[in-house]
Amino acid sequence: MAGPRRLALTRRVSVTAAGDGIPRVVDGRDVAAVRESWLVEDRWWTDRPLSRHYWEVVTVCGRDEVVFCDLTSGRWWRQR
């Protein structure tokens, strides 16, 4: 029997964002709409705090994406 499986693994993604941080292009596909965004700041009391800005976007081809910018490193990741 296999062990537990991690859900929603993150993967690096190429994002072009506007000056205000809103994603405009995700992996070469233009963003048609932003559904929502939220900020997560957690573990601030540890040596490895977490600070991310998440965006749920829809690309022009109709694909729903959840991406986030790691505010510490400035790198973009795909959540699903």
Other beta carbons within 10 Å of 17: 17
Other beta carbons within 10 Å of 1: 2
Q: What is the pLDDT of residue 16?
A: 97
β-strand partners of 42: 50
Residue 71 has pLDDT above 80, yes or no: yes
Picking from 63, 34, 37, 62, the residue whose alpha carbon sits closest to that of residue 52 is 37
Q: What is the pLDDT of residue 52?
A: 95
Q: What are the domain boundaries of the chain?
A: 11-78
Q: What is the pLDDT of residue 13?
A: 97
Q: What is the pLDDT of residue 57?
A: 97
* Total-model pTM: 0.83
10-54 pLDDT per residue, tens: 899 999 999 999 999 999 999 999 999 999 999 889 898 899 999
